[in-house]
């Protein structure tokens, strides 16, 4: 029997797009893929192999041979997230098979690769925060997946693009490539920068990669919108150039501004001009970012009362602490002449104003 280290695991697709796993000599993977694509229509096997990797009270399927060496869940029944050490026995196309995988419901997934299972288990036991993993023995690299699925949890016909799974039916087009940023124009010709999440070809593509007559693309963007090539009547989306990335920066800063995280922002243009956006309040309004406030209330008749109002957060109903305190006391039948802010402890990273989104009072 020949040494197994002369072989590698790979994946390919048949002529009709069926996903196939194979093991071949280490220098023949591309030859096998080409053979599958050009000579094979379908491959049927007598059994379907799927592995369910347990996560506390639930499981997750994968098409790979995966061994879970350790696991811990957080929250009630692990609902907030989990961490696990996995060994993927048949990692395809040079991917590394020893990982420490972390998943939370609010941040998604990330995983780190390790030289040995012992290295990964040591990191698991230490519960070191992700940013400190690089100092531990055997650390190779860290991959942040976010809401995307890590490659080792691919199932069915999902395709692998880099470190992630790619939904079945979405192609990594030669022009509109997954993860690439494009300048996209709306119906009025206004540009914005969007990230391509994949394309779907309606019809069949010729073997040389060109689209046949009547075949068109649907391009899916990271904001949930779709560009239909057959209905296009304006400027075509095109790859964003380095000098145009200020568009994405402007949108990001404006969204942060609208959410109440900042009160002003500036964008530098390439020709030296600068755009400055700033929140301008009516003179009667007091700027009150999120935080704690020491308040002195002057009541009718001369009485003065001081006290801290903690955890104030500007909302649409109460954009400043003066209005909040006045409204509360007035509802209780008090007659307020004025409210004085004596001290404040501003929350770092908190809201600077009420914003225009999520107008909910707490």
Closest among 244, 282, 246, 289 to 265, alpha carbons compared:
246
19 located within any domain: yes
Q: Which residue has the higher pLDDT, 50 or 238?
A: 238
How many domains does the chain contain in total?
A: 4
Mean pLDDT of the chain: 76
Do both 146 and 183 map to the same domain? no
List, for residues 44-101, the tens digit of each pLDDT value. 654 444 566 655 544 578 889 899 999 887 654 445 788 899 999 999 888 999 999 9
Whether residue 152 has pLDDT greater than 90: yes
Range picked from 77-81, 109-113, 197-201, 294-298 for highest mean pLDDT: 109-113
331 located within any domain: no
* Domain end marker among 134, 161, 188: 161
Torsional sign, CA 228, 230, 233, 239? positive
Residue 99: the pLDDT is 96
> Can you give the CATH number for the domain in which 194 is found?
2.30.30
Do both 55 and 146 map to the same domain? yes
What's the rounded Cα separation, in Å, for the pair 107 and 103? Answer: 7
339 located within any domain: no
Do both 193 and 237 map to the same domain? yes
What's the rounded Cα separation, in Å, for the pair 159 and 148? Answer: 13
Whether residue 246 has pLDDT greater than 90: no
Q: Domain range for residue 26?
A: 4-39
List, for residues 277-316, the tens digit of each pLDDT value. 777 666 545 567 888 888 888 888 888 888 888 888 877 6
Do both 145 and 222 map to the same domain? no
269 band by pLDDT with thresholds 50, 70 and 90: low
What's the rounded Cα separation, in Å, for the pair 2 and 200? Answer: 42
Whether residue 17 has pLDDT greater than 60: yes
Length of the chain: 362
Torsional sign, CA 27, 30, 34, 40? positive
Do both 66 and 145 map to the same domain? yes
Q: What percent of the chain has pLDDT over 90?
A: 10
pTM: 0.44
Do both 80 and 138 map to the same domain? yes
């Amino acid at each position: 029997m020949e040494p197994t280290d002369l072989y590698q695991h790979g994946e390919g697709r048949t002529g009709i797009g069926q996903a196939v796993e194979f093991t071949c000599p280490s220098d023949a993977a591309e030859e096998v893929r080409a053979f599958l694509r050009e000579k094979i229509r379908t491959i049927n096997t007598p059994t379907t192999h799927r592995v369910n990797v347990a996560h506390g009270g639930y499981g997750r399927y994968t098409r790979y041979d995966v061994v879970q060496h350790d696991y811990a869940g957080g929250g009630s029944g692990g609902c907030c997230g989990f961490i696990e050490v996995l060994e993927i026995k048949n990692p395809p196309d040079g991917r590394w098979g020893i990982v420490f995988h972390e998943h939370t419901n609010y941040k998604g997934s990330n995983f780190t690769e390790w030289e040995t299972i012992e290295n990964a288990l040591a990191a698991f036991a230490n519960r070191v925060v992700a940013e400190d993993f690089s100092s531990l023995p055997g650390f190779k690299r860290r991959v942040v997946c976010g809401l995307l699925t890590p490659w080792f949890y691919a199932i069915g016909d999902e395709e692998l693009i880099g470190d992630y799974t790619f939904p079945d039916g979405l192609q990594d087009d030669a022009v509109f490539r997954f993860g690439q940023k494009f300048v996209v124009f709306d119906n009025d010709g206004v540009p914005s920068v969007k990230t391509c999440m994949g394309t779907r070809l309606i019809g069949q593509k010729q073997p040389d990669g060109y689209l046949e007559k009547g075949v068109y693309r649907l391009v899916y963007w990271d904001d949930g919108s779709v560009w239909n090539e057959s209905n296009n009547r304006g400027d075509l989306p095109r790859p964003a150039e380095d000098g145009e990335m200020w568009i994405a920066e402007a949108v990001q800063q404006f969204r942060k501004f609208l959410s109440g995280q900042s009160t002003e922002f500036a964008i530098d243009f390439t020709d030296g001009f600068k755009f400055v956006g700033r929140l301008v309040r009516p003179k009667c309004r007091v700027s009150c970012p999120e935080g704690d406030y020491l308040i002195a209330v002057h009541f009718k008749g001369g009485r003065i009362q001081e006290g801290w109002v903690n955890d104030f957060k500007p909302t649409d109903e109460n954009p400043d602490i003066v209005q909040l305190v006045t409204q509360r006391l007035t509802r209780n039948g008090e007659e307020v002449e004025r409210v004085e802010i004596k001290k404040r402890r501003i929350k770092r990273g908190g809201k600077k104003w009420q914003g225009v989104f999520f107008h909910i009072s707490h």
